[in-house]
Homo-oligomer: A and B are copies of this chain.
Amino acid sequence: MQDTVLIVEDEPDAVDLLRYNLERADFDVLVAMTGDRGLAVARESRPDIVILDLMLPGMDGHEVCRAMKGDTGTEAIPVIMLTARSEPGQRVKGLEIGADDYVTKPFSPRELVLRVRAVLRRHRTMPRSEIVSFDGLTLDRTKFEARLDGERIELTATEFKLMCVFVERRGRTLTRETLLRDVWGYQTSTLDTRTVDTHVRRLRDKLGTCSARLETVRGEGYRFAAEASP
């Protein structure tokens, strides 16, 4: 049972070097030599991690990373960017886009393998207690438990999922279609269902003083406010 690394890199020599070292370190290796192809492979194959060169023909590394992070299916895949030493500005830009790490060319293969392992380890370890806590609200995924100012809120499975999605993406408006896909797992949504509305209502009922924070964005969907209102 091996982890899969996707290499997105246009220089054949660099590809061979990377592939050799990663395979020797017991990774399965996929390769794409253009950004477009890399993105397609990432979407199809869901590798465990992507090593992404910045300088690519066509769609460049930044664009690939941005597209991956903006796509539900691939946003969770960690990305290590390869940059040339003469591109200090590009490193900053990569971090801003959401890359998980970067490695400067030329690099030692050993260092890269260690980087891959470190990023995967970070990404994969199940935290003992998966708690998000802010503004008096606490969500504990290990215990499937929500609390408001220390008092436990009894949520059903669906309500808890809905709450988690809202909290993760607080400040962003989520359409009903998005919620149906991400909370209910529907692939094709029935656009005239009121299911989401009903569950939002129930969630609001249970949130008490916090319910005003679950805002309606008319014509678009719902949003959990990023900041507590004054």
Contact = CB atoms under 8 A, between A and B. Distances in A.
A168 B141 CA distance: 13
Contact size range, A: 35 or more
Nearest to A93: B114
30 contacts: A1-B135, A1-B136, A76-B128, A76-B129, A88-B108, A91-B111, A92-B110, A92-B111, A95-B111, A95-B114, A95-B115, A101-B101, A122-B122, A124-B131, A124-B132, A126-B132, A126-B139, A126-B164, A126-B168, A127-B127, A127-B130, A130-B130, A130-B141, A141-B141, A142-B164, A143-B185, A144-B157, A144-B161, A156-B157, A157-B157
A200 B122 CA distance: 29
Contacts of A115: 95
- The main secondary structure of chain A at its interface with chain B is mixed
Contacts of A141: 126, 130, 141-142
When A and B form their complex, which 9 residue pairs have the shortest distance between CB atoms, in order from nearest? A76-B129, A157-B157, A76-B128, A126-B132, A95-B118, A95-B114, A141-B141, A92-B111, A126-B168
Given A123-B127, A126-B139, A156-B157, 11 more contacts: A76-B127, A76-B128, A76-B129, A92-B110, A92-B111, A100-B122, A124-B131, A124-B132, A126-B164, A126-B168, A141-B142
A225 to B, nearest CB: 16
A88 B110 CA distance: 11
A92 B118 contact: no
Interface in A83-130: 88, 91-92, 95-96, 100-101, 108, 110-111, 114-115, 118, 122-124, 126-130
